[in-house]
Structure 1
Amino acid sequence: MAEADTTRRTHGLLTLAAAEALWPELLSKSTVPAAPEAFTGSPANPRSGYVLLGSHLVPTVQDADDRWHVHEADVRRAAAELRLVTLNKNALVHVRPGHVPSAGQGDARALRWRQRLGREWIQARNYDTSDGSWQQTGGDHLRHLAGIDWRRVLVVRTKTQAARTWWVPRTLGQVLDAAERAEAQWLLAARTCSRCGAKADNRPETWRVQTGSGQQTICHACRTTTLRPYTRELEGRLYSALSKKRGSLAVSGWRCAVCEEAPASVIDHCHEHGYVRAPVCQGCNTRERPNYLYRNDVYVTDRYASLFHTHAQDRLRHWHRCPGCRARTTLPLPHLAALTALLVGAPVRPTHRVRHSSRRRTPCGELRASWMGSYNQPRSCVITLSVDYCPSGEHSTLAQVPYRVAVDRFRVWLSETAPEAAAAAGPSRHDTVPAQFRPVIPDTSNPLPSLF
């Protein structure tokens, strides 16, 4: 650990050897078993630019001597989230062999945990029942899944000599699904030029450049382009009208209207009123997206703390670029539900004592906000705040907040948090809500996801 301790004091970076020693230590008191080769063993590949740890995508950094490092803070953040996960071997999901992609099919870096376990299932048919050892039949040995030692939580059920089924805890499947989604977004952004939208066919890593807000993907042709600031050229325009005109949704040459550093990649618009807000970069676009569970259901994750606390001024100014939200002094319903959960649900959210600690307590489960009804009929719309995955199973619904009450709470909070945005908003009347939803025509020419 001498090398690890020395590395930790150097700009917060860890060598891969030090990180692999730290990872099992951080998860020593967790129900999730840590893999010993989480950063170098298959399917991890630090040369890809990232390593998956649970549902977190941890970027890798290469120094002048071609050695790879990771940030210690990222590793600790991923471990802290996994420590909250409880693996219950009584709640399982079946691992089916299904379709196993051949070599070279799809992106070789992608996790695809179901397909990888399916391949292992096929190879494990040569399982030696005499001494309980695994008989590998060739191919790439799957050492872990997103830093998790999957063999230690695998449940094998044997009906007959030839019929064995594989099962894994349901919560592990949810973590790995979240890891696949995070990885898919990263791979898409890594191949797509954030200025012109061009795709990198070969060697997309050569398009990665360092900017003030982190790494960005910029093609060689766009690196000489000077970015211009957004000066409200699209204010008051309907997204549905812009999407019908060829070339009107091009964002090449604009600087992101939120962070004002990275090049813009998409036109952000309000789904509830249909108005264009501003061109934004891929990073701001992703951070703002609601963490949907269903169409009328969001999980209030740590990402919302950044939106409504750390960067509240910038986000509120951006959201109120929509004339509808600004005139009604409100937010789109998913964001309003998330904010209501933080203002109303978080203070009454129960806590549980941390295992092996008499003083430390952790918040109960996952905070969730759902709603019934529509913003078109505010009198019938109710936001329900609840807790999922309570360790004791005793907590569920925390509160029910009518839409009007949620809007009033937002106005009070807005006046305290962002007085300038509050002064520019209004006048507001609930009966000015549009009678019908404005149709929004998606931009099918742009593969990047559009956002509120």
Structure 2
Amino acid sequence: MAQISPRLARTFFAGIAATSAVPIDLDDLVNMVRLRQHGHVVLGDMAVRCYKFKSKWTYDERDIRRAAQVFADFCLDPGDVVEIQLPPYRGYGDQGPEERGRSDWREQIASWMYRHARHTHQRERPYEERDDSWQRIGASGLPGELTWEEFLAASIGRRRSIGNTRPLELMTRSGSGLFLPRAYADLLDRWERMTEELVGRARICSRCRAQGPRWGAWRTPSPLGYVTLCPPCSGATFQRYTGHLHGVLYASARTRSTRADGYLCRMCAETRASVWDHCHDHGYVRGPLTELTHEFLQVRGHLG
């Protein structure tokens, strides 16, 4: 198969699907934001696999061309529409572990509206007058006092895409109702099912078949891409780090010849590591970490 770079994949896709009736947003082809979670980019209802080739992420050119042609051939009747019912507001604490981050296109569109309604409500009122009225659907059919025109204006220039398509460009409003072309709403329904199926498969430990967290905590990079291993299987496969590189410089030949992914993370001692943590001030190796732990500590400022 012909391996192509993410940027070339985006160029090919954009050219083939240039006349598509569905507005597309192809940044995910380059950014690959779901690599850890399931190793694919979902375009509409099509999952395009990401491959690791010579330490770089690529696509199969045939996959890209096939998916782009489906978009180019997509039929859309703007007169055949379906009304979209916004789900009620639910905060982070109202959702269980299996609900958080679940693929739900109606919930996603609603979250954009609730977020802007909250921002407007809090911006226009002193702290003591703020309440939760922005969480309720008003007479306009939108949250709080939000208007359709205000919401569209605030969305200009923002990346608001689902399945690498832009739903707001196809959404219309009549009275207090919001509408999308039926064929496009059906496409988003299939996007939900496809994404959840990918997440479900990627949660399963490749050795013992146990089911892990949906956000990819058991996923670890390998020379050929991400693999899923539960803590017991990782512990039985990889060795614990005993500090044998203490006092060794990160940039030394000794560190370069020792792979971090041969060890368990020094923080949790359960999951396969992927990077060497080191002090940026002195340059000495601290130990192996998973990507998630390393990123978390960097954000919290715990890594120098």
Q: What TM-score range do you get, normalising by the shorter chain?
A: 0.5 to 0.7
Give the corresponding residue for 1:205. 219
- Distance in 2 (CA, whole Å) between partners of 1:174 and 1:97 is 16
- Distance in 1 (CA, whole Å) between partners of 2:29 and 2:194 is 17
- Distance in 2 (CA, whole Å) between partners of 1:76 and 1:192 is 30
Q: Secondary structure at the match of 1:39?
A: helix
- Per-residue deviation, 1:135: 2.1
Which has more radius of gyration? 1
Once the two structures are superposed, residues 167-196 of structure 1 have per-residue CA deviations (whole angstroms, 9 ceiling, x without a partner) of 111111211111211211111111112443
Give the corresponding residue for 1:153. 170
For the Cα contact (< 8 Å) 2:5–2:58, is it kept in 1?
yes
- Distance in 2 (CA, whole Å) between partners of 1:39 and 1:103 is 29
- Distance in 1 (CA, whole Å) between partners of 2:101 and 2:60 is 21
Q: Choose the corresponding residue for 1:85, options 59, 67, 74.
A: 74
Aligned amino acid, residue 72 of structure 2: R
Q: Cα distance 1:109–1:19, how it changes in 2: closer, same or farther (>3 A)?
A: farther
For the Cα contact (< 8 Å) 1:156–1:166, is it kept in 2?
yes
Q: Cα distance 1:178–1:76, how it changes in 2: closer, same or farther (>3 A)?
A: same
- Distance in 2 (CA, whole Å) between partners of 1:74 and 1:198 is 30
For the Cα contact (< 8 Å) 1:33–1:149, is it kept in 2?
yes
Q: Cα distance 1:99–1:57, how it changes in 2: closer, same or farther (>3 A)?
A: farther
- Per-residue deviation, 1:208: 7.6
- Distance in 2 (CA, whole Å) between partners of 1:154 and 1:44 is 25
Give the corresponding residue for 1:115. 107
Aligned amino acid, residue 147 of structure 1: N
Deviates more, 1:191-200 or 1:50-59: 191-200
Aligned amino acid, residue 83 of structure 2: H
Q: Cα distance 1:70–1:134, how it changes in 2: closer, same or farther (>3 A)?
A: farther
Alignment of 1:247-262 (within 5 A): none
- Distance in 2 (CA, whole Å) between partners of 1:32 and 1:57 is 17
For the Cα contact (< 8 Å) 1:35–1:147, is it kept in 2?
yes
For the Cα contact (< 8 Å) 2:218–2:231, is it kept in 1?
no
- Distance in 2 (CA, whole Å) between partners of 1:128 and 1:61 is 41
Aligned amino acid, residue 205 of structure 2: C
- Distance in 2 (CA, whole Å) between partners of 1:154 and 1:128 is 11
For the Cα contact (< 8 Å) 2:36–2:220, is it kept in 1?
no
- Distance in 2 (CA, whole Å) between partners of 1:116 and 1:200 is 24
Q: Please, what TM-score do these two structures have when normalized by structure 1?
A: 0.38
For the Cα contact (< 8 Å) 2:14–2:68, is it kept in 1?
no
Alignment of 1:46-445 (within 5 A): 46-48=35-37, 49-62=39-52, 68-103=57-92, 105=95, 106=98, 110-122=102-114, 123=116, 126-127=146-147, 129=149, 134-135=153-154, 143-157=160-174, 159=175, 163=176, 165-201=177-213, 203-206=217-220, 217=228, 219=230
- Distance in 1 (CA, whole Å) between partners of 2:207 and 2:26 is 40
- Distance in 1 (CA, whole Å) between partners of 2:148 and 2:178 is 16
- Per-residue deviation, 1:62: 4.4
Give the corresponding residue for 1:356. none
- Distance in 1 (CA, whole Å) between partners of 2:148 and 2:199 is 39
Higher relative contact order (CA 8 A, sep 6+): 2
Once the two structures are superposed, residues 331-373 of structure 1 have per-residue CA deviations (whole angstroms, 9 ceiling, x without a partner) of xxxxxxxxxxxxxxxxxxxxxxxxxxxxxxxxxxxxxxxxxxx
Aligned amino acid, residue 166 of structure 1: L
- Distance in 1 (CA, whole Å) between partners of 2:170 and 2:160 is 13
Aligned amino acid, residue 57 of structure 1: A
Q: Secondary structure at the match of 1:134?
A: helix
- Distance in 1 (CA, whole Å) between partners of 2:188 and 2:148 is 29
- Distance in 2 (CA, whole Å) between partners of 1:190 and 1:209 is 17
Q: Please, what TM-score do these two structures have when normalized by structure 2?
A: 0.53
Give the corresponding residue for 1:26. 16
RMSD across aligned positions (CA): 3.7
- Per-residue deviation, 1:128: 7.4
Once the two structures are superposed, residues 3-52 of structure 1 have per-residue CA deviations (whole angstroms, 9 ceiling, x without a partner) of xxxxxxx942222x3333332222112222222534357x9544432211
- Distance in 1 (CA, whole Å) between partners of 2:207 and 2:8 is 37
Identity of aligned residues (%): 22
- Distance in 2 (CA, whole Å) between partners of 1:72 and 1:64 is 16
- Distance in 1 (CA, whole Å) between partners of 2:33 and 2:110 is 18
For the Cα contact (< 8 Å) 2:218–2:229, is it kept in 1?
no
Aligned amino acid, residue 99 of structure 1: P
- Per-residue deviation, 1:96: 1.7
For the Cα contact (< 8 Å) 1:20–1:36, is it kept in 2?
yes
Q: Cα distance 1:26–1:102, how it changes in 2: closer, same or farther (>3 A)?
A: farther
Q: Cα distance 1:27–1:108, how it changes in 2: closer, same or farther (>3 A)?
A: farther
